Chain A
Amino acid sequence: MGQTLYEKVFDRHVVREITPGQYQLLASLHLLNEVSSPQAFEALRERGLKVRHPGLTFGSSDHSISTGGRHDDFADAMAEVQVQAMGRNMAEFGATYFDPDRGEHGIIHVVAPERGLTQPGAVIVCGDSHTSTHGAFGAIAFGIGTSQVRDVLASQTLLMEKLKVRRIDITGRLAPGVYAKDVALHVIHMLGAKGGIGFAYEFGGDVVDGFSMEERMTLCNLAIEAGARCGYVNPDQTTYDYLRDRDHAPRGSRWDRAVAEWQRVRSDDDAVYDDRVVLEGEAIEPMVTWGVSPDQSVPVGGAVPEQDNAWTAEVRDFMGFAPGQPIIGTQIDVAFFGSCTNGRLSDFEAVAAKLRDRGLRVASHVRALVVPGSQRVRDALVERGLDRVFIDAGFQFRDAGCSLCCGMNADRLRGREVCASSSNRNFRGRQGSPNGRTLLMSPVMVAAAAIAGEVTDARTFFGAVL
């Protein structure tokens, strides 16, 4: 009987079974950020412990860091202390730090893949729920809390139960103007924000097979918003082509051995899944969320639901929508383009291609932020002259960080502002204002909304403004 990638990789990383169904699992890569790690380092000091495998431990400051031209221009003293503590901890315990003083920083889920740290067959953990991103490479990657960060620092292992595996096929092909973000929002809408609890999601089918690595990262990034602790795609030639020659990728004869090894961790053709779901790619449209949970979304041509039970009425009150109101035409105040979901080079290239040489301008009442996912992404954009495309269109072109996705640095919504956002969560208060409102959508849809000043169908909008 065949096995899934999840089972193969999990089994290879089991150190021992502690109690029935509960395993001591080895992490082959441990990623750190400045938010969830300081208490873990402090616990090591209190207990007289060292980092067991500093060579497998890498970190970046992303949540609290300023994106306003100077990374050390902090919004408040606490953020400054936190980022300084990160640098000190990484140095003291001998782990590798992508140092903002050297311009190496970025969102850890953007930095690790672009440096070739994220590889197939690995178990990757990080004190951040969007660690699921790394599953795009055929790794088991999931978020952990600070106490588990402590455990992994000290022992390179943690306690884990085995998940079930749900195979999700996206068949056929996507219509023009439909992106990986729309596929993810569609999956979350169809299966629910709680639907993935207890599962790892394996994504496949023609649409996913045809995705680039960056598109796969967008999809796996949002697995956690479907309730699945991790999502993954089986590694293939696309994966290997992306990885080859990156900083930490194997080289020479080790490369060929690694590819052969990676090929073996793919799910077997006769693998048995706990559940299977098939979704038609052709049926997916550009998606926009209207509520405060990522599964509360409609195709851009749709409307806020009519039904009127107390719970959705409360959400609609918070959001300010009337029952049955079309989502198109919703006025926005802020446009945010970035995050570990959609802050990679191809995301910005896709939008720049729509903006270039058209004289389009961000609407006068809209504050529009472009925040690259890493300084490397930023450098690549500048090198291609795409920073000018965004600046000329009236976007702020900023430094790398999580920024307005989580509202921990100075980039925040104010009051009841409505934000068209390429990020991952529309939770109440998520973008830094308790009453701020978030509409999740693809980067191209964010750009169209920024220019139109309201939610619009990017397919017709960018066609019509030619």
Chain B
Amino acid sequence: MNRNDTRIHRIAGRGITIRGDDIDTDQILPARYLTAITFAGMEAHAFNDARAAAKAQGETHPLDQPRFTGGSLLFVNRNFGCGSSREHAPQSLHRRGIAAVIGESFGEIFAGNCVSIGMPCVQADAETIAALQRINETAPQTQFVLDLAGQTISAGGSVFPIMLMEGRRRQFLEGTWDPTAVLLAAGPLIEQTLAEAVHQG
């Protein structure tokens, strides 16, 4: 595959399930790691405190469970990624090998950040998420196929519908999820809009 080909049509892989509503970006990436001026190495800190807390209670956080090792599709519940706008949070997941997040709903800034780094956040209804999490937890070797073109996710013989805003879906399909070049192509139209929008100057 061409290294410069940024199009994302389908993502196949095993899953990781992290259950719970309102998992905020402070939990995903605690603030004390935000003083770094690069994203390099951020993957080591993903869910740092939740993982430590699980360990202290003699449990293992999903990110540390051997059955989920190598999973690239993350299954979550409602309002995942709410709170702070820190892109460090999705960066930490992406750099751990997460290629897509599938959940009932997402914090909006988080979902937007995920587009910008080429990691789709797709929505599915509560029953679908429950089914996907069940499959993933009971049979962690299961391969899932997220098909952005067909707007489905499949596992074994089952196929489930997914939702993704059309504009964002096209960005992935067309490989323009990093939009800087598209934005700059507007050229002088930007300054025209600026002159019209800001009269007071």
Q: B-contacting residues of A (Cβ < 8 Å)?
A: 12-16, 18-22, 24, 26, 28, 35-36, 38-39, 42, 47, 49, 52-53, 63-64, 76, 78-79, 81-82, 85, 119, 122-123, 127-129, 131, 142-148, 150-151, 154-159, 161, 193-194, 197-198, 224, 227, 229, 250, 254, 257-258, 261, 293, 311, 406-408, 425, 427-430, 432, 434-435
Which residues of B sit under 8 angstroms from A129, Cβ to Cβ? 83-85, 109
Please report the C-alpha to C-alpha distance between residue A290 and residue B193 in the assembled complex, in whole angstroms.
47
Known A13-B197, A129-B83; judge A161-B186 contact (CB<8 A). Answer: no
Please report the C-alpha to C-alpha distance between residue A14 and residue B109 in the assembled complex, in whole angstroms.
20
Which residues of A sit under 8 angstroms from B36, Cβ to Cβ? 78, 82
- A144, A408, A428: the one contacting B32 at CB < 8 Å is A408
Known A193-B79, A193-B82, A407-B32; judge A156-B194 contact (CB<8 A). Answer: yes
Please report the C-alpha to C-alpha distance between residue A323 and residue B115 in the assembled complex, in whole angstroms.
41
B 17-64 contacts with A by CB, 8 A: 20-22, 24, 26-27, 30-32, 34-39, 49-50, 52-53
Are B190 and A20 within 8 A (Cβ)? no
Q: 7 A-B residue contacts at CB 8 Å? A: A144-B109, A155-B183, A159-B182, A194-B22, A197-B79, A293-B22, A434-B49
- B31, B79, B105, B108: the one contacting A408 at CB < 8 Å is B31
Are A427 and B83 within 8 A (Cβ)? yes
Please report the C-alpha to C-alpha distance between residue A28 and residue B193 in the assembled complex, in whole angstroms.
10
Query: Is B10 on the interface with A (CB-CB < 8 A)?
Result: no
Please report the C-alpha to C-alpha distance between residue A293 and residue B107 in the assembled complex, in whole angstroms.
13
Please report the C-alpha to C-alpha distance between residue A161 and residue B183 in the assembled complex, in whole angstroms.
15
Are B197 and A28 within 8 A (Cβ)? yes
Query: Is B70 on the interface with A (CB-CB < 8 A)?
Result: no
Which residues of A sit under 8 angstroms from B35, Cβ to Cβ? 35, 64, 76, 78-79, 81-82, 408
Known A193-B82, A427-B26, A430-B31; judge A39-B39 contact (CB<8 A). Answer: yes
Which residues of A sit under 8 angstroms from B109, Cβ to Cβ? 129, 142-145, 229
Which residues of B sit under 8 angstroms from A435, Cβ to Cβ? 53
Which residues of A sit under 8 angstroms from B168, Cβ to Cβ? 22
Please report the C-alpha to C-alpha distance between residue A144 and residue B189 in the assembled complex, in whole angstroms.
23
Q: Which residue of B lies closest to A43 (CB)?
A: B180
Please report the C-alpha to C-alpha distance between residue A39 and residue B34 in the assembled complex, in whole angstroms.
11
Which residues of B sit under 8 angstroms from A425, Cβ to Cβ? 24, 26, 83-84
Which residues of A sit under 8 angstroms from B199, Cβ to Cβ? 257-258, 261
Top 6 nearest A-B pairs (CB, nearest first) are A22-B167, A147-B116, A145-B113, A145-B87, A38-B37, A434-B49
Which of B78, B87, B105, B170 has its CB near the most chain A CB atoms (within 10 A)? B87
Please report the C-alpha to C-alpha distance between residue A432 and residue B182 in the assembled complex, in whole angstroms.
39
Which residues of A sit under 8 angstroms from B85, Cβ to Cβ? 36, 127-129, 131, 143-145
Query: Is B112 on the interface with A (CB-CB < 8 A)?
Result: yes
Are A157 and B186 within 8 A (Cβ)? yes
The 0/1 profile, CB within 8 Å of A marked 1, for residues 109-144 of chain B is 110110111000000000000000000000000000
Given A39-B37, A39-B39, 4 more A-B residue pairs with CB atoms under 8 Å apart are: A22-B166, A35-B35, A148-B113, A311-B21
Query: Is B4 on the interface with A (CB-CB < 8 A)?
Result: no
Known A36-B85, A311-B21; judge A147-B178 contact (CB<8 A). Answer: yes
Please report the C-alpha to C-alpha distance between residue A406 and residue B34 in the assembled complex, in whole angstroms.
10
Q: Which residue of A lies closest to B178 (CB)?
A: A147
Please report the C-alpha to C-alpha distance between residue A85 and residue B38 in the assembled complex, in whole angstroms.
11
Query: Is B86 on the interface with A (CB-CB < 8 A)?
Result: yes
Which of A13, A52, A155, A198 has its CB near the most chain B CB atoms (within 10 A)? A155
Are A146 and B184 within 8 A (Cβ)? no
**B183 vs chain A, min Cβ distance (A):** 4
Are B193 and A13 within 8 A (Cβ)? yes
Are A155 and B190 within 8 A (Cβ)? yes
Which of A19, A49, A76 has its CB near the most chain B CB atoms (within 10 A)? A19
Which residues of A sit under 8 angstroms from B197, Cβ to Cβ? 12-13, 26, 28, 123
B 141-198 contacts with A by CB, 8 A: 165-168, 170-171, 178-180, 182-184, 186, 189-190, 193-194, 196-198
Which residues of B sit under 8 angstroms from A151, Cβ to Cβ? 116, 179-180, 183
Query: Is B200 on the interface with A (CB-CB < 8 A)?
Result: yes
- B32, B106, B183: the one contacting A154 at CB < 8 Å is B183
Which residues of A sit under 8 angstroms from B178, Cβ to Cβ? 147
Which residues of A sit under 8 angstroms from B106, Cβ to Cβ? 197
Which residues of B sit under 8 angstroms from A63, Cβ to Cβ? 31, 34
- A42, A47, A250: the one contacting B180 at CB < 8 Å is A47
Please report the C-alpha to C-alpha distance between residue A300 and residue B181 in the assembled complex, in whole angstroms.
52
Please report the C-alpha to C-alpha distance between residue A430 and residue B182 in the assembled complex, in whole angstroms.
37
Q: Which residue of B lies closest to A142 (CB)?
A: B109
Are B24 and A155 within 8 A (Cβ)? no
Which of B83, B85, B115 has its CB near the most chain A CB atoms (within 10 A)? B85
- B50, B52, B167, B171: the one contacting A21 at CB < 8 Å is B167
Are B112 and A145 within 8 A (Cβ)? yes
Please report the C-alpha to C-alpha distance between residue A42 and residue B36 in the assembled complex, in whole angstroms.
13
Which residues of B sit under 8 angstroms from A64, Cβ to Cβ? 34-35
Please report the C-alpha to C-alpha distance between residue A20 and residue B167 in the assembled complex, in whole angstroms.
6
**A434 vs chain B, min Cβ distance (A):** 4
Which residues of A sit under 8 angstroms from B105, Cβ to Cβ? 194, 197
Please report the C-alpha to C-alpha distance between residue A408 and residue B33 in the assembled complex, in whole angstroms.
8
Which of A13, A26, A47, A227 has its CB near the most chain B CB atoms (within 10 A)? A26
- A36, A47, A53, A122: the one contacting B87 at CB < 8 Å is A36
Are A194 and B190 within 8 A (Cβ)? no
Which residues of B sit under 8 angstroms from A143, Cβ to Cβ? 85, 109
Q: Which residue of B lies closest to A63 (CB)?
A: B34
**B116 vs chain A, min Cβ distance (A):** 3
Please report the C-alpha to C-alpha distance between residue A64 and residue B86 in the assembled complex, in whole angstroms.
14
Which residues of B sit under 8 angstroms from A13, Cβ to Cβ? 193, 197
Which residues of B sit under 8 angstroms from A227, Cβ to Cβ? 79, 82, 107-108
- B31, B78, B79: the one contacting A407 at CB < 8 Å is B31
**A231 vs chain B, min Cβ distance (A):** 13
Please report the C-alpha to C-alpha distance between residue A193 and residue B24 in the assembled complex, in whole angstroms.
11
Please report the C-alpha to C-alpha distance between residue A129 and residue B110 in the assembled complex, in whole angstroms.
10
